[in-house]
Amino acid sequence: MERLAAHRVPVTWRIATVAELRPETARTTTLVLEVPDWPGHLAGQHVDVRLTAEDGYQAERSYSIASAPEDPELAVTVERIDDGEVSPYLTDEVRPGDQFELRGPIGGYFTWQVADGGPLVLVAGGSGLIPLMAMLRHRANARSRVEAHLLLSAREWSDVLYRDELDRHAQDGVDVHYTLTRVQPDGWTGGSGRVDTEMLRHVEAEPEKRPRIYVCGPTGFVEHTAELLVALGHDPHAIKTERFGPTGG
């Protein structure tokens, strides 16, 4: 997921080397990075990426960390914005061995650790799944049995990130649900259309369990989902949100 870089406490810039490229969908690629002296991160944090052209022009964007804290290498998943300055390079042009500047980790509010407990309720719109996936990977690496629920909204099945891995998380006890807003394949048994009250009621943990709720996606999706969760009786302060919108790529 891509976000606008914001004013934050300064974090050291490092040189990241691309170790591996993993195509995820037609528009998204995971970059596995080697970052010397990486200080470690929490699931849910992000990094800033800065590219510098030969004439000195610089472009900077922020991307969610997709890898779990326990993973030996850092990974970010980037969705291509066709008229963007940064994402087309990262998804279409970069090759193993290429380098760029990176700083992080950034963000402390939208994070989860196994020690925080659950139940864990994750609601994602499109590439908003990326930081939530880091949480599920952290849960799996820790061999945690924390109750976990995921509702993912995507335009169509081919847009769903990490499909095979999500199947494995489902086999490991994660309650995984999908809704497709535009195109549903033949025989589709999941949800159709925008996230609604009935979907959340079916997926979520009951308010009485005081679940830890994380919602990530486009601004309209996040605001709509948070309103529905509050209407279902959840404490607004228990709903952590992260949103993104057009940034120029």
Say what the pLDDT of residue 249 is: 54
Residues in the chain: 249
pLDDT class of 163 with cuts at 50, 70, 90? very high
What pLDDT score does 205 carry? 73
User: Which is higher by pLDDT, 161 or 209?
Assistant: 161
Please, which pLDDT band fits residue 244 given cuts at 50, 70 and 90?
confident
Residue 233 has pLDDT above 50, yes or no: yes
Q: Residue 11's pLDDT is what?
A: 78
**pLDDT, tens digit (0-9, with 9 covering 90-100), for 61-94:** 999 999 999 999 999 999 998 888 899 999 999 9
Q: Is a pLDDT exceeding 60 seen at residue 237?
A: yes
C-alpha–C-alpha distance, residues 38 and 112, integer Å: 19
**Percent of the chain's residues with pLDDT above 70:** 94
Sign of torsion over alpha carbons 93, 94, 95, 97: positive
Q: What is the DSSP string of the chain?
A: -EE-----S---EEEEEEEEEEE-SSSEEEEEEE-TT-----BT-EEEEEEE-TTS-EEEEEEEB-S-TTSSSEEEEEE--TT-SSHHIIIII--TT-EEEEEEEE-SSS-B-GGG---EEEEEEGGGHHHHHHHHHHHHHTT----EEEEEEESSGGG-TTHHHHHHHHHTT-EEEEEESS---TT--SEESS--HHHHHHHSPPGGG--EEEEEEEHHHHHHHHHHHHHTT--GGGEEEEEE-----
Average pLDDT over residues 146-160: 96
Q: Which residue has the tokens 């719109």?
A: 125
**Rounded mean pLDDT, 5-25:** 80
pLDDT of residue 80: 93
Flag whether pLDDT at 153 surpasses 90.
yes
- The pLDDT value recorded for residue 10 is 55
Mean pLDDT of 33-52: 95
Identify the CATH number of the domain defined by range 114-244. 3.40.50.80
**Averaged pLDDT, 38-42:** 95
Residue 234 has pLDDT above 50, yes or no: yes
Tell me what the pLDDT averaged over the chain comes to.
91
Structure tokens at 180: 């497709």
CATH architecture group of domain 2-106? Beta Barrel (2.40)
Residue 8 has pLDDT above 50, yes or no: no
Q: How far apart are CA 188 and CA 10, in angstroms?
A: 47
- Give the pTM: 0.91
pLDDT over threshold 90, residue 55: no
Where along the chain do its domains lie?
2-106, 114-244
pLDDT at 9: 43
Neighbour tally for 192: CB within 10 Å = 13
Confidence of residue 2 (pLDDT cuts 50, 70, 90): very low
Residue 170, token pair as written in the block = 């489902």
